Structure formats: C-alpha cells, structure tokens
Amino acid sequence: MLSKKYPEAWLGGHGGVQIIGFVEWTGYFGLASSILVPLLWMNFGQRIRRLVSCTSRMVFVDKLCIHQTDPYLKAAGILGLTGFLRESQNLVVLWSPRYFSRLWCVYEVASWMHLEKETSKVHFFPLALALFGITVMFALFFSSFLLMWAARWTDVEYNLAAVVITLTSLAAPTHIIRRLIRDLQRMPRQVAAFSLKRAECFCCSNNHKIPGTDVDIPCDRELIEGQLALWGQATGEEDPLEKFDLYVREQLGSHILTKVGGSRIPYKMALMISVPVWGFNCDRLVLVSMVEPWGVRHSAYHRRPVRTAMRLMLHYVTTYVAVFPTAIRVALLAAVFLDRTLGVRERLLEDLLVTVLGICMFAGYFLGCLALLVYALQPVSVVPQIIITVLVWAFTVLLYSEQGVRCLNRFESIGSKAVLEEEAVRISAESNLDYSVESVSEAAQIYAATRQQKEQKRLVAEQRRRPAAALPDVGGTSDVEEGSCRKHPLQVPPQLHEVRTSQSLESQSSTDAGGELETARIRHR
C-alpha cells in the first residue's frame, strides 16, 4: 500500500529524484521494533549474550551486593570492597548532584585510588542525561506515530501537521533538560569544594536507627575512616584523608570535567536516542529494494537505478547517523546557552517563552540540515550532494571529537567563569586584595566565600536596623553571632582569610586608640 508522505521519500525519475510515497506497514513495524528491541535488551540482554557468545558481563552493584542491615555482613562487605574492585576492569559511576556528598560513593573512589588503577577507567554517567534520552526517545516515538497517521492527508495539511507535531513533541524534552542541565553545571563547584570529612552517610543522619523503628544499625563512617587510616599507615602517609581530597580535586576532577557536564553526551548514546527515527523510516529500505536490479522492475525507475539507490542510501545514512546525533548535541548546547544567559525563570510565562526559544533554535538547525540534504537530491549531478554530505559529517566529527569537546568546554565555561570573576572583583574590592581567577577551583572557592560573606553581612545589617529597645546586650549579640557562625561556617581561601584577619586587627587597634584619645579629652576637661 502506497500513500503520500512529506518530500523526503525520493526515488528515481527525470532529472534528479522524485516523490512516489511510502510503504505503510513497514513504518509501523519498524516503529514498534524500535521500542520493543531496547526494552527486550534491557531485560534479557545478559541472557542473550550468554546464549550467543557463552559469556555474560559481571557487574558488582554495592547497594545490592553488600548487606544493609546485618552489622557483621555489612562490615565484611565494606572491608572486601577493595577485592571486588581489584578484579574489576571499569568503575561506572551513576552521577547525581549528591554523589560527592555521600560517604559510600566517596569510599568506592578511594578504594579505586588505593589500588592505583587508571583514572581513565572511571566512567561518570550523569542520571540527568538518562532522563533526557528517555524523554527524547518517547517524544520521537509518538511524533513519528502521529506523522504516519497524518501521511494520508494532502501535502499542505501534512506539512502543517508535521510542524505542529515537531514543535509540541520537543517542548517536554527542552523544558526538562533546561532544569536538569543545572545539575551538570554544579559538578565543577562540587569537585573544587570536595572534602571527605563533609560527606554524609545514612546511619549518622538517622542517629544510627532504622527510620520508624528502634533497631540499631552500624556506623558506616567508623568502618570507612578506619579502613582509610589503615591504608595510610601501610603506605606511611600522615593524613590519608587529605591526600584523597587532593586526588579528587586534581586528578579525578579534571578527568570528570572533560567527560561529562554541560552539553557533553557520548556519540553512542545520541545514536541510540534516535533509534525510533530509524524504525519510522524503514519504508525507505523497501523503496530502495524496489529499484532494479535488487527488486521488481518499475517503469518509474528505469533510468540509472543503481545510482539512484546509492544516492538514497547516502542520504538516509547521513540523516540518521550524522544529522540526528548532532541535533541532539545542539539541543544540549542550546540548553546550556539559555541557562547561561536567561536561566530558569521564576514566572511560568517567562519560563515557557525561554523554552519556546530553545525549541526554535533546535528546530532551525535540524530542519535546515534536512532541507539541505533534500535539496542536494534534486540535481542530476551528485557533486552538490557530496559537498553537503561532507560538510555535515565534518561538523558531526567536530562536535564529538576530543578537540571539539575541549573547544565547547571553553565556550560553556565562559558564562559561569564570568560570573565568578565578577564576584572575585567585588570581594577583592571589599578586602583590598588583588585576586585573579586562574582556575575553576579558585573561582568556586571565591564564589562560595562571597555568598557566605554576603549572607553574614545581611544578618548583621538586619540586627543593626532593629529598634534600640529590641536590641539585646553585648553578650547576647555575640552569642547569636557565634551561634550563626557555628551553624554556617565560612569557607574562604587562605589569602582572603589573612586579609580579613589583618583588617579586623587594624580596626580593633584603631578603636582602642580612639577610646584612649576620648579618655584623655575627658581628663583634660
């Protein structure tokens, strides 16, 4: 059964390539297969590998393989974690914004460092990208299904429906990724401010009790810090915790920031996300097979059938393998750019307008590339198609190559570093210290110090604005300030701390001198 479709179903004809339609049942079959096959592989992939190659991939999951309630089994699992990691080839980290604040996660990385394994074997996979990929896959699935159903309409109606369906299907992924992209942008700041002593654990947060019961649970912190101390004694280190903090901030941190965060996404994942589009266009394979000499002879394809089929195959392979992955990367870049410039707005209307702007940026790139590829099929000569195809592939390689990733990293860090440099200038002016931002970690420290100083100044200003009768005595005021400092300790770089200390000493000496001068004047009178 043949029916009309948008002007992508091109096959042989006069001059270039001509529209003839598509085979309907193949599109539905391919679309269903594009969803069922990944679901079957996720649930039965290990069994299929075992049947085909007689081997299956072994995975050690700490939450499932270490007992969580029995104190003896739990201690044995923690002490034996190094043995499991010693036999492991890779360490896969499912990263979330709380990863570096969890003691268990930190201990796994410490065990990997203790074994002196390669940092390149640590693979960080942000969970935000997984949610983004699933959302895009289902959006492509439903939009493809609606486009197939609308293929029975006229060309004008179909084109209008295609525009509306495409824009509406992109709304949810764009809005979600704009909020999830902030999780990835927290990563440099978390790496720069990492400290094992500030890591949280479930047992200490719940007073070593199972929530809702009186059952005691063992303390993970005692076991883990004791194990790290034993490793430090074995290697003759004075402070193994400090060494591990430096390892995370310098070696592991630089490796993480070059692999994940911002708009970085593996090419394999981008290719997997676009699988529903492959199934949606399975009818193209049927049309190509109808071209002589691979299939049944048709009167419309009698001129240069092999050349026509090769041009079609090049067109579709470029669309699926190059255009769609780059479009996904461009969507992430647009999300990062909008978050740098406009951010997530508090008002719903403004937030929706920013989302629409992101959709337009993504749709403009995708439809532009698709229009160029379709236009290249019209001339008889293959030269325009080859030139446009080479440009599209070169742009794809540039986006996903290491050099391209480094350039994009610099582009993405412009916005955040500019904000941090502005904060550094302000705090330098307040402290009379010429401080330059040379690295992301220094910028993050200055950023955190500035925010905390502003909060303290705001609290002091509020106390000064209170009426005199409501103000407590000197002792009470100092107690409040000391309590607030204990709850919110100020973490500042050493240089800024020295300047603040010297300034406070100077102000105190000037105050004492002023008091002595006033006493002398009273005595003179």
What integer pLDDT is reported at residue 303 of this predicted model?
52
Residue 59 is given by DSSP the state -
Q: Pick from 197, 232, 262: which residue ends a domain?
A: 262
| Parent domain of 512 | 406-524
At 126, is the secondary structure helix, strand, or coil? strand
Question: Does 170 fall in a domain?
Answer: no
What integer pLDDT is reported at residue 467 of this predicted model?
53
Average pLDDT over residues 295-299: 41
At 490, is the secondary structure helix, strand, or coil? coil
Q: Pick from 262, 290, 323: which residue ends a domain?
A: 262
The more confidently predicted of residues 282 and 435 is 282
Lowest mean pLDDT of 9-13, 110-114, 374-378, name the range.
9-13
- Strand partners for 122: 91
Alpha-carbon distance of 357 to 241, in angstroms, equals 47
What integer pLDDT is reported at residue 390 of this predicted model?
92
Question: Does 476 fall in a domain?
Answer: yes
What integer pLDDT is reported at residue 473 of this predicted model?
40
pLDDT band at 31 (very low <50, low <70, confident <90, very high): confident
Query: Degrees (nearest 5) of the Cα angle 152, 155, 160?
Result: 95
Question: pLDDT, tens digit, for every residue of 399-414?
Answer: 887 766 666 666 555 4
What mean pLDDT, rounded, does the chain reach? Answer: 67
Q: Which helix (H) or strand (E) holds 175?
A: helix 155-185
Question: pLDDT, tens digit, for every residue of 123-177?
Answer: 878 777 777 788 888 888 888 777 777 777 776 777 777 777 777 777 777 777 7
pLDDT band at 216 (very low <50, low <70, confident <90, very high): confident
DSSP secondary structure letters along 189-222: HHHHT--GGG-B-HHHHTTTB-TTS--B---HHH
Alpha-carbon distance of 395 to 422, in angstroms, equals 34
pLDDT at residue 262 tops 70 = no
Can you say whether residue 266 is alpha, beta or left, with left for phi > 0 and alpha for psi between -120 and 50 degrees? Answer: beta
Question: pLDDT, tens digit, for every residue of 393-448?
Answer: 988 888 887 766 666 666 555 444 444 444 444 444 544 444 444 444 454 455 45
Question: Does 50 fall in a domain?
Answer: no
- Per the structure, how many domains does the chain have? 2
Question: Does 14 fall in a domain?
Answer: no
pLDDT at residue 387 tops 80 = yes
pTM over 0.85: no
Tell me whether strands 91-95 and 122-126 are parallel, antiparallel or unpaired. parallel
Question: Does 163 fall in a domain?
Answer: no
Question: Does 37 fall in a domain?
Answer: no
User: 172 CB contacts (<8 Å, ≥6 apart)?
Assistant: 135, 139
Question: Does 412 fall in a domain?
Answer: yes
Question: Does 152 fall in a domain?
Answer: no
> Residue 74 in contact with residue 68, Cβ under 8 Å?
yes
Q: Pick from 262, 296, 320: which residue ends a domain?
A: 262
Alpha-carbon distance of 20 to 298, in angstroms, equals 12
What integer pLDDT is reported at residue 344 of this predicted model?
58
**Which of 207-216, 299-308, 367-376, 431-440: highest mean pLDDT?**
367-376
Alpha-carbon distance of 257 to 266, in angstroms, equals 14
